[in-house]
Amino acid sequence: MSEPKVSVIIPVYNTEKYLRECLDSVVNQTLKDIEIICVDDGSTDQSVAILEEYQKQDCRIQILRQQNQYAGVARNNGMKAATGKYIIFLDSDDFFALDMLEKAFYCAEKNQVEIVLFDYYTYDELTGHSRPHRTKGMPPSVFSPEEMGSRLYTACKSVPWNKLVLRQFLLDNHISFQEIRKSEDLYYSLLCVSLAKRIKFIPKCFVNYRTGNPNSLQGNTNKGMECGIISRVFLKRELKERAIFQGYVKELFFQCCQSIKDYFDKITNSDAMEQFYQELKKDLIPGLFDSPSDFEDDAFLNNIYESNGVSDFLRRLLQTERNEKAQNYILKSSWEARLGGMILFIPKRIRNLLKHRRS
């Protein structure tokens, strides 16, 4: 058989409510020469039965099965099985516009690029309303990462489903997903756009990203939130090993770290907050920053201070963790003492300094 034009890889886990809409949006694409690789991640509902039903009707569908190991492992297994010239990922509770693959494929072929980007809708599961997310200021022609500079990560987004990617590019650069509970797509997406030479953007919304689904990993904000830190640590390590952690790429990475402060406002469970907080303390240096000088005068800690979530959490910590073990840990080394003083105890002099800076 000839090489399919596109491999669509769909990790599936207990999404029987949405799976038919997802599959319908793929099997009915105007581009017919595709393969559809569905990787069941140990579903316990009727998801597998639905996949088998669709497979009987469409020979382009492959079903791979694995024990529950989360989406990163599922996507990697799907990539190993893929034979298409290009690869794209779709979550099993989301759905494509029916002309998406055709438009993206011919755009990639015409412009000879490694990545085609496009915009998306957020589809609110609770209201049934869609809202477009449009990226402003994108180049009308093919561009390189260097041309985007400090806007690259924000403009290209840290998700895999708005990117049609040349499979040979992924193979040549040994790009895959982290095999962690969540945030595994950040490493894949940002490494792709960091290493690509030619990227093209289509200013249309082609994907419907579902929100308000409490059963999704993204919908459950109290599980695996520390993975947001782990994924960034892994990305930094890879950028360094590939000798591109310098200049605008280093600036991009530190920008990516700024959003960590948003996690404090999302977490509502005290145990989850504790786990996230301990991971942050452990990996802040050298996992995220090389030395205290990288963040001391930066907006990173200022943003953490301004987060309501961290203020509430630290107030609880102060009430429960004033014990000898915690004190000894904080005083292990000079930078930890300073970091502990700034993050854990929030001294008045720092707060006053921040107020002075803002005024």
Q: Do residues 77 and 143 share a domain? A: yes
**Res. 333: pLDDT tops 50:** no
pLDDT at residue 221 is higher than 80: no
Residue 241 sits in which domain range? 227-358
Arithmetic mean of pLDDT, 123-145: 91
Give me the torsion for CA of 191, 216, 227, 321, rounded to 10°: 160
49: Cβ contacts below 8 Å, ≥ 6 apart: none
User: In whole angstroms, how large is the CA radius of gyration of the chain?
Assistant: 22
Domain count, the chain: 2
Most confident option among 119-123, 220-224, 225-229, 274-278: 119-123
325 and 201 housed in the same domain:
no
pLDDT at 342: 46
In terms of domains, do 157 and 59 share one? yes
Same domain, 51 and 185: yes
* Residue 322 reports pLDDT greater than 70: no
Do residues 255 and 192 share a domain?
Answer: no
337 shares a domain with 272: yes
Of 211, 240, 265, which marks where a domain is finished?
211
Same domain, yes or no: 155 and 250: no
- Please report which helix (H) or strand (E) contains residue 61, including its range: strand 61-66
* CATH number for 96: 3.90.550.10
In a domain, 218, yes or no: no
Same domain (yes/no): 30, 179 = yes
Task: For residues 190 and 163, give the distance between their C-alpha atoms in angstroms, rounded to a whole number.
Answer: 11
- Are 267 and 181 members of one domain? no
The pLDDT mean for the chain works out to 84
The sign of the CA dihedral 96, 267, 270, 289 is positive
pLDDT score at 262: 77
Peptide bond into 286 cis (omega under 30): yes
Look-up: residue for tokens 């469970």? 269
How does residue 191 score in pLDDT terms, banded at 50, 70 and 90? Answer: very high
Q: Is residue 221 part of a domain?
A: no
Residue after which a domain boundary falls, among 211, 238, 262 = 211
Identify the top-confidence range among 184-188, 202-206, 218-222, 279-283.
202-206
The reply to whether 191 and 68 lie within a common domain is yes
Residues 261 and 327 in one domain: yes
pLDDT tens figures, 90-104: 999 999 999 999 999
Of 179, 211, 243, the position where a domain reaches its end is 211
Whether residue 217 lies inside any domain: the answer is no
- Higher per-residue confidence, 325 vs 84: 84
